[in-house]
Chain A
Amino acid sequence: MNTTGVRATARIRARGDGRGGTSLPVLASDGPLALRRTRGSGGEAHVLLVGAMSGPLGGDHFTVRADAEPGARLRVGSAAATLALPGQHGGEARHDVRLTVADGAELHWLPEQLICARGCELRMSTEADLAPGARLVLREEQVLGRVGEQPGGLAGRLTLRIAGRTVLDQELACGAGAPGGWDGPAVLAGHRAAGQLLVAHPRFAEHPVAARALSETTVVLPLAGPAVLVTAVAPDALLLRRELDAALELLTTVSA
């Protein structure tokens, strides 16, 4: 294991303040992971993840934890895209996201894109644990290389559990070092951006959303549980965001 990298864990804890608002009893930055509370809206607290330095580089291990406790309405974004780069000493970089959402709480986890620069080796893992009455909107976007650049290696895993039951468990491996066929007709076929929009809402248990295609490369997939996944691929980050924004608007309307 590479011991020269940076290890950092940032923590957010949000809870209802009992007056219709959301307080942040914990907002702990760590090293390159800086958290800022920004102006909220309604009863919702807004937090911005600000990259205080570039990363993750090879050998780094970043973790971000966010817990939305009862009554909380929390929205987390990031100030800029995350750029995964190779480190001076090489080796794998890790980026872990651990989210929990309590009954009646709501978390919007909407970071900017993850860009896999040439030579990076990033292992990304996102796990969301929801209580039965929790609400979640989560977006992840992977961009393979900067413009015209050969992408580094990415292995990502996205896991959603509701009431302890795994509703979604999905890995995506692409770029340098990924198993054969990752850029072929079954997986990405030359698209350089892939995205997932995950929406969980207790309302979906009784009013499931129907599967539908929003375009030739974007589909709405009701999962085997009260949650919906939008899967999309696109030629670039801008077109991907356009597709996911349209999907989010559609799903926000049906879950309102």
Chain B
Amino acid sequence: MSRAALLVLADGRFPAGGHAHSGGAEAAVRAGRITGAASLEDFCRGRLTTSGLVAASLAAAAALGVDPGELDAAADARTPAPALRAAARKLGRQLLRAARATWPCGELDALAARFPTGAHQPVALGVVARAAGLDARDAAHCAAYESVSGPASATVRLLSLDPFDATGVLARLAPDLDHVAGQAVRAARTAAHEGADALPACSAPLLEIGAELHAARPVRLFAS
């Protein structure tokens, strides 16, 4: 594997469209639940251990070569909010477009042909990690990190939060990120033998509720 490939894929400037999404932070700011660095950290930790763990597990399983169709259906079942399913497919499509230009290969072409409207982003991420020569742990780390880096950078814009504070939040979450990535890889290995039902399905009620409230708002800074 190439360690540099991991940096390219995890770089916030990788043109996969993630900057347009706040990961639920905009809805939480609007509801008065994120007001500064402390509540941002609490938000990120809750997102990481719920939808972040699910995303990391899906990505790790896809990187191990579990059938993307099975994983995409598992992602649908774990994403009851239609606004979040739509956002995940859109992000999956954008990621795949960028990755096919970066690491051209038949497996990515096949994924794009199979999911013309986009596969769930974590599933696409896992297949892209494979194409970039990365392993399941790398894919899990990427997905886990994205689950908190998006809300952190969005909150800098939404609250004019000091970027140093936002980065401090991410640094303090590093042990949790490693823990979640480890859990995800173990779950993905089990799923490779037993099927996608073995993957975690942790949910966060306020992320689902906030996503639908946010999608219905006429004026918003971020798409989700």
Contact = CB atoms under 8 A, between A and B. Distances in A.
A189 B81 CA distance: 19
A170 B197 CA distance: 11
Nearest to B147: A186
Interface stretch (B109-117, B161-169, B201-209): B201-209
A173 B202 contact: yes
Of B33, B50, B80, B176, the most chain A CB neighbours within 10 A belong to B80
Interface stretch (A4-12, A74-82, A218-226): A218-226
Interface stretch (B41-49, B58-66, B94-102, B135-143): B41-49
Contacts, number: 126
Contact of B80 (A186, A194, A213, A223): A223
Contacts of A188: 205-206
A165 interface: yes
B77 A187 contact: no
Interface in A204-234: 211-213, 216-219, 221-224, 229, 231-233
Contacts of A169: 74, 77-78, 197, 201
Contact of A186 (B50, B77, B85): B50
Contact of B46 (A187, A223, A229): A187
A231 B46 contact: no
Given A166-B77, A180-B176, A213-B213, A185 B197 contact: no
Contacts of B73: 165-166, 224
Nearest to A165: B73
B46 A219 contact: no
Contacts of B80: 168, 170, 221, 223, 229, 231
A224 B85 contact: yes
Contacts of A222: 82
Interface in A146-187: 157, 165-173, 179-182, 184-187
A172 B205 contact: yes
B206 A185 contact: yes
B123 to A, nearest CB: 14
B178 interface: no
Contacts of A166: 73-74, 77, 197
B190 interface: no
Nearest to B38: A184
Interface string B181-205: 0000000000000000100111111
Interface residues of A, number: 36
Nearest to B49: A179
A182 B39 CA distance: 12
Given A180-B45, A182-B46, A216-B213, A224 B76 contact: yes
A232 B208 CA distance: 10
Contacts of B202: 171-173, 179
B83 interface: yes
A181 B205 contact: no
Interface string A219-256: 10111100001011100000000000000000000000
Nearest to A223: B80
A188 B85 CA distance: 21
Q: Give 10 nearest A-B pairs by CB, closest first.
A: A181-B46, A184-B42, A181-B45, A185-B33, A186-B46, A179-B49, A224-B76, A185-B43, A184-B46, A187-B46
Interface of A: 157, 165-173, 179-182, 184-189, 194, 211-213, 216-219, 221-224, 229, 231-233
Given A172-B203, A224-B76, A232-B209, 6 more contacts: A169-B78, A187-B205, A187-B207, A189-B206, A211-B212, A212-B216
Interface of B: 24, 28, 31, 33-34, 39, 42-50, 73-74, 76-83, 85, 176, 197, 200-209, 212-213, 215-216
8 contacts: A168-B80, A169-B201, A179-B50, A185-B42, A186-B43, A212-B216, A213-B216, A221-B81
